Amino acid sequence: MNDVTGAERSPWRRDPWIALGAATVFACILMVLPAPEPADPPGGPLPETNFAVVDVTVFDGEEFRPHRDVWVEDGRIRAAGQRLALPDGLPRVDGRGYTLLPGLIDAHTHTYGMVLNDSLRFGVTTVFDQFTMPSLAAQKRPARERLARTGESDLFSAGNLATAPGGHGTQFGVPVETLTSPGEAPAFVAARKEEGADWIKIVWEDGGTFGADIPTLDRETIAAVIEAAHAEELLAVIHASRLEHSLAALEMGIDGFVHVWGDEVISEEDAVRFAEAGVFVIPTLSVRVAAAGESMGPELLETTEPEYVSPMQRQTLTQTFPRPVGTSEAAVESVRRLHAAGVRILAGTDAPNPGTGFGISMHGELRLLERAGLSAAEALAAATGVAADAFGVEDRGRLARGRIADLLLVAGDLESDLSRTTAIAGVWKDGFPVEAAWATPQEPQ
Amino acid sequence: MAVNTARRGLLWHVRIALLETRFQFLSSLRLPAFAVPTLLFPLFFYLFFAVVFQAGGPSLTAPTYMLATYGVFGIFAPSIFGFGVGLAQERDSGALLLKRTTPMPTFAYLFARVGTAAIFGAVVVLLLFLLAGYAAGVELHRWQWFALAGAILAGVLPLSALGLAIGAWAKQQAAVAVVNLVFIAMSVLSGLWFPISMLPGFLQDFANVLPAYHLGQLALKTIDLDLGRPLWFHLVLVGGQTALCLAVAAAGFRRFSGR
Amino acid sequence: MSSEPLSTAPLARLSGVSHRYGDVLALDRLDLEVREGDVLTVLGPNGAGKTTAVSLLLGTLNLQTGAARVFGSAPDAAEVRLRRGAMLQVSGVPETLTVGEHLALFRAYYPSPLPTARLLEMAGLQELRDRRFGKLSGGQKQRVMFALALAGDPELVFLDEPTAGLDLDGRRRLWDEIRGLKAAGRTAVLTTHYLEEADALADRIAVIHRGRLIAEGTPEEIKSRTAGRVVRCVTTISPETARSFPEAAGVETKGQHLEVVTAEPEAVLRRMFALDPELGDLTVVGVGLEEAFLALTGDGAGPEGEL
């Protein structure tokens, strides 16, 4: 019976070849399936106006979102999200290993000269100025509406501040309109609005915290200015260097504080009152620590390539206050309590005060906010989304559809190391890459 | 080519395993109740939800996401039905008993079932990929196409173990019901039909006990659309669940042999 | 039990095997030997334990007590599997594969399989090679299972109720093939509840009842113990009286009838007419399997189900 067993041809001799063939076909199809167009690493020249940054960690103004694409079209954000359907041929920047943020907003500066270029080169694409010449603000205003190649940050400003004759703010040799009584408030505010002020800034400063005695507005006048500003549908923010004055202003219906006070630490109960009132605080810790003799200037200069720092930035960063005022611990603790209570915190530097520099100090301010208990995302939100929302600016401050393509690209992961914001790999303003922001020194021009 | 020796080496084992796979595959392919839903359901779902619904949108997130989840869904059916129902049926019909009297190594039988699920899975994956790439406009880096295919197909093993555990215990009729229930419930609760983030929180936590959830997350991880849990978390859990299924299956077979 | 010299060790044997399913004792200290070149028929009613015994010899059932050896090894040893084939009572194969595909797969398991054409011929499946298993009739399926059992050209083949479901023609053909196996020097273990089948094929018959071996021997030996007639009538003679007849092998009442199994019906009839001249409705018939069991077991538990 055991015959001719070898004579039959096995029907499955071809099976391994069929399997091999099928696997090859499988692999071949995987080889030809659509792949994204190649993206250029950010090292070379950056694209402008119409482009995309792909597979980048986005900070959208509120939180980090990994592996996002951001599509810029005609200087605005066309779309931001995962795996966008990008058109063929669109220039792409490979964002892997990078973080893309909305251009930063410094919510407290005093603008003059060329400083808007210094800000822009450090990724601060918008500044909220808290006192400058109304003529300068008016001159810079059109750039806000224009999507064009520029070397300067956009400027929003309070313009002429509200202070008493001879009071704080009048000492810089710039002509300042002042007021003395509540009855003048409506006309004063109307004039500011006429000049183009974006909001009203009020000064309540008797010089007591730094050992001086200077004239200041009385309570009634301050209350009248706040009321007049609201009547004109303008925000009213206040410089108040004492906690007592700040609490009083809170009662008057102030919208925001442009400094954290330097005299006392706020109680947790009062911090809750701030939160319930819905006000925002721009602590300007950069200038608070500088006033206390602990300026961030040396640290920032040490960690930044020298050729990126302008002489102006270097000069103001290395200046010191004549004598220490307050302590940094008290200011930081107040911010910690305000933040814990849920008060909106905005990042602002008060540049160019001694120990600060335009643009560069925003990177220090972020680190100081982190020291006050804000997470990396909360600190960045204070410099982007929260700042834009607080001042009612809706065309920037977030990476979202329709907003202006003011962008900051930094190498690395900010969530784990916020100090990396100075590892700037690119800045776009209105969709245009900012010249010489990171590759060659600014000064030789 | 008869092997004129009783000594059976590795080559013999490989040959039998491949042959079992060949016939297991042929047998399944000719079973319309198995082959048609297995191949068509994932493709139909994908065509409907990822291609038609999403056509022309600015974002490819949904079609890309669904490529991973419907991919896992696509291998789910052949894996769990092949073992859960197929095995129970062959045991009830006596085919399994007959095989046990032959020199066929048990390994070859298991290999054939897993291999068949993998072949069906590979066909589903390939067709899904073609739909995604050429109809939905999905673009992936070259390595991601391979990684995604690999991650999806690797899921055949844990899901086969799950099917094996069911098939080892349930009678054929019961197995059909149990497998269908497990298949549908687990697909939904693991986020294979719609994103897991759309489920209430306690169900999202519950998903951790489901192997299909981890397989979905592992597949999504290759295309950066997972929920962000670490790789080892999913690997450890799905590995443990597979081991548990195998232990349950082994207990079932011991009961079967002792009868 | 074996009178053979020790040198011809049995090809397969069960020694002192008991097997329980829960409370049911399926095998009770069973001894069974399969000698090389023999066709051993295990005869018994359904539920007697035939399939359990075969399953233990195949290794598909775990041994509880006793010993089982096949070719001197454990029944499920790899070497054993290569040298034996089996046709199980309850078995199917995937329905969507063709007869030829099933044969190809099973042939591949063995080092020296029988040629496909030969297998098809042996099982009478020449015309059905390309037909799917699911499309076959019950008898055709049974023939496929027979062919699969022989695919590896086994030295020892187990056939558990091989002719169940076959028509007369198919049964005869299968018998011829089993005789062919024997002629080719192969050994077979066959279970059946047909005495006729056992008689036609067996070299030796082992009769199992309630898990115990109650008779073993050549067909002639078995028949001599069961050969005879059944005397059936309506009578006033009591069963006790009938059992006292020296010629009576077994006695049972069925309704009004008394049945007496005997090798000497004339003597029994003489005694009965002497005791009850009025007895009526008399028939004398050849013994069936039922009566054979009756004779062998003496307790009237006959086979059940189809006969």
What's B55's DSSP letter? T
What pLDDT shows up at residue B256?
A: 66
pTM value is 0.79
Burial level of A252, CB count in 10 A (0-12/13-18/19+)? middle
Residue C293 has pLDDT above 70, yes or no: no
Q: Taking 90 as the threshold, does the pLDDT of residue C303 lie above it? A: no
Yes or no, beta carbons of B103 and C148 under 8 Å apart? no
State whether C114 and A11 contact (CB < 8 Å). no
pLDDT of B6 above 50: no
Report the pLDDT value the prediction gives residue C2, as an integer from 0 to 100. 42
Which residue of B5, B7, B36, B98 is the best one to mutate when testing the C interface, meaning the one whose CB has the most C CBs within 10 A? Answer: B98
ipTM: 0.87
Contact C18, C30 (CB under 8 A): yes
Domain hosting A379: range is 101-399+412-421
C61 contact residues in B (CB cutoff 8 A) = 257-259
Confidence tier at C301 by pLDDT (50, 70, 90): very low
DSSP letter at B197 equals G
Taking an 8 Å cut-off on Cβ atoms, the answer to whether B103 and C109 are in contact is yes
Nearest 5°: CA angle at A51, between A50 and A56?
A: 150
A361: how many CB neighbours lie within 10 A of its CB?
35
B143: containing domain: 13-258
Residue A236 in 3-state DSSP?
Answer: strand
pLDDT at position A328 over 90: no
Average pLDDT over residues B169-195: 90
Higher pLDDT, C281 or A337: A337
Give φ, ψ of C44 to 5 degrees. Answer: 175, 160
Average pLDDT, chain B: 89
CB-based contact, A7 to chain C, within 8 Å: yes
**Residue A438 pLDDT > 70, yes or no?**
no
Whether residues C163 and C239 share a domain: the answer is no
Asked, for residue A18, whether it belongs to a domain, the answer is no
Tell me the nearest-neighbour CA distance from B119 into chain C, angstroms.
18
Cβ contact B224–A55 (<8 Å): yes
Q: What is the per-residue pLDDT for C252? A: 79
Whether B130 sits inside 8 A of A19 (CB atoms) is: no
pLDDT band of B246, cuts 50, 70, 90? very high
Q: Please answer yes or no on whether A5 and C104 come within 8 Å at the CB atom.
A: no
Q: Are B208 and B237 in contact (CB under 8 A)?
A: yes
Q: Which residue has the higher pLDDT, A445 or C265?
A: C265
- The answer to whether the beta carbons of residues A51 and A90 sit under 8 Å apart is yes
Shared domain for C214 and C255, answered yes or no, is no
The 10s digit of each residue's pLDDT in A179-223 is 999 999 999 999 999 999 999 999 999 988 878 889 999 999 999
Kindly state whether residue B252 falls inside one of the protein's structural domains: yes
Give pLDDT tens digits for C195-215. 778 888 889 989 888 888 888
In a domain, C302, yes or no: no
Q: Which C residues, 206 through 265, put their C-beta within 8 Å of a C-beta on chain B?
A: none
| pLDDT confidence tier of residue C68, bands split at 50, 70 and 90 | very high
pLDDT tens column, B16-29 = 898 999 999 999 99
Both C69 and C218 in a single domain? yes
* Contact residues, chain B, for A19 at CB < 8 Å: 18
Same domain, C134 and C37: yes
Q: Are residues C73 and C186 in the same domain?
A: yes
The residue of C91, C135, C157 whose CB has the most chain B CBs within 10 angstroms, and thus the best one to mutate to test that interface, is C91
DSSP one-letter string for B88-130: HHHHHHTHHHHHHHSS--HHHHHHHHHHHHHHHHHHHHHHHHH
On the question of pLDDT at B259 being above 60, the answer is: no
What's the mean pLDDT in A126-130? 96
A32 touches chain C (CB under 8 A): no
Domain CATH for C116? 3.40.50.300
Contact B78/B123 with Cβ under 8 angstroms?
no
**Average of per-residue pLDDT across A332-349:** 97
Mark residue A397 as left, alpha or beta (left: phi above 0; alpha: psi -120 to 50; beta: remaining). Answer: left
The CB-side HSE value for A40 (13 A sphere, CA atoms) comes to 13
Q: What is the pLDDT of residues B199-229, one digit of tens each?
A: 898 999 999 999 999 999 999 999 999 988 9
- pLDDT band for position A12 (50/70/90)? low
Tokens of A44: 């070379």
| Residue count of chain A | 445
Residue B25: list chain C partners with CB under 8 A.
none
Give the whole-number percent of chain A exceeding pLDDT 70. 95
Best mutation target among B126, B141, B148, B221 (most A Cβ atoms within 10 Å) is B126
In a domain, B155, yes or no: yes
Q: What is the pLDDT of residue C272?
A: 86
Q: How many domains does chain B have?
A: 1
The C-alpha R_g of chain C, in whole angstroms, comes to: 22
Q: Supply the Cα-derived Rg of chain A in whole angstroms.
A: 27
Q: Give all strands (DSSP E) within A190-315, no chain letters.
A: 200-204, 236-240, 256-257, 280-281
> What local confidence, expressed as pLDDT, does residue A260 receive?
94
Query: Average pLDDT for residues C155-174, to the nearest whole number?
Result: 87
Model confidence at A9, pLDDT cuts 50, 70, 90, reads low
Beta strands C248-254; C257-262: pairing state: antiparallel
Q: Which domain holds residue C265?
A: 228-286
Residue B2 within a domain: no
Interface of A with B (CB under 8 A): 5-6, 10, 12-13, 15-16, 19, 22, 26, 29-31, 33-36, 55, 66-67, 71, 78-79, 81-85
Q: How many domains does chain C have?
A: 2
Residue at B6 is within a domain: no
pLDDT at C183 over 60: yes
* Contact between residue A305 and residue A368 where contact means Cβ atoms under 8 Å apart: no
Domains of chain A: total: 1
C257: in domain: yes
- Please check whether residues C234 and C213 belong to one and the same domain: no
pLDDT tens track for A375-396: 999 999 999 999 999 999 999 9
Interface contact C273, partner B, CB < 8 A: no
- Only one residue has tokens 């060790």, namely C9
pLDDT grade, residue A15 (50/70/90)?
confident
Which C positions 5-24 lie with beta carbon below 8 A of chain B?
21
Q: CATH number of the domain at A225, please.
A: 3.20.20.140
CATH number of C257's domain: 3.30.70
Residue C297's pLDDT is what?
A: 60
Q: Are both C65 and C118 inside the same structural domain? A: yes
* C259 & C156 share domain: no
pLDDT above 70 (res C150): yes
Do the domain assignments include residue C298? no
Chain C partners of B97 at a C-beta cutoff of 8 Å?
A: 60, 88, 90-91
Predicted local confidence at residue B184, as pLDDT: 93
Instruction: Give percent of chain C above pLDDT 70.
Output: 88
Name the phi and psi angles at A415, rounded to 5: -60, -35
d(C-alpha C208, C-alpha C214), whole Å:
6
Residue B119 has pLDDT above 90, yes or no: yes
pLDDT at position B102 = 92
> What is the reported pLDDT for C188?
94
pLDDT band at A436 (very low <50, low <70, confident <90, very high): low
Region B131-139 average pLDDT: 92
Does C304 have pLDDT greater than 70?
A: no
C153 lies in the same domain as C90 = yes
A29–B129 CB contact, under 8 Å: yes
Interface check C243 vs A, CB under 8 A: no
Mean pLDDT rounded to a whole number for chain A: 91
- Is B35 a residue whose pLDDT tops 90? no
pLDDT of residue B120 exceeding 60: yes
Residue C227 clears pLDDT 70, i.e. is over it = no
Spatial neighbors of B137 by CB under 8 A, at least 6 apart, are A34, A85, B60, B63
CA-based nearest residue in chain C for residue A12: C104
B228: left (phi > 0), else alpha (psi -120 to 50), else beta?
left
pLDDT at C295: 63
Report pLDDT for C298. Answer: 54
Question: Residue A75 falls within a domain, yes or no?
Answer: no
Position C275 in a domain = yes
Chains adjacent to C (≥3 CB pairs closer than 8 angstroms)? A, B
Q: Which pLDDT score, from 0 to 100, does residue C296 have?
A: 66
Domain check: are C45 and C103 in the same one?
A: yes
pLDDT at residue number A441: 40
The answer to whether residue C293 sits within a structural domain is: no
pLDDT beyond 80 at A418: yes
A73: Cβ–Cβ under 8 A, 6 or more apart, which residues? A49, A50
Least confident of B68-72, C26-30, C129-133, C264-268: C264-268
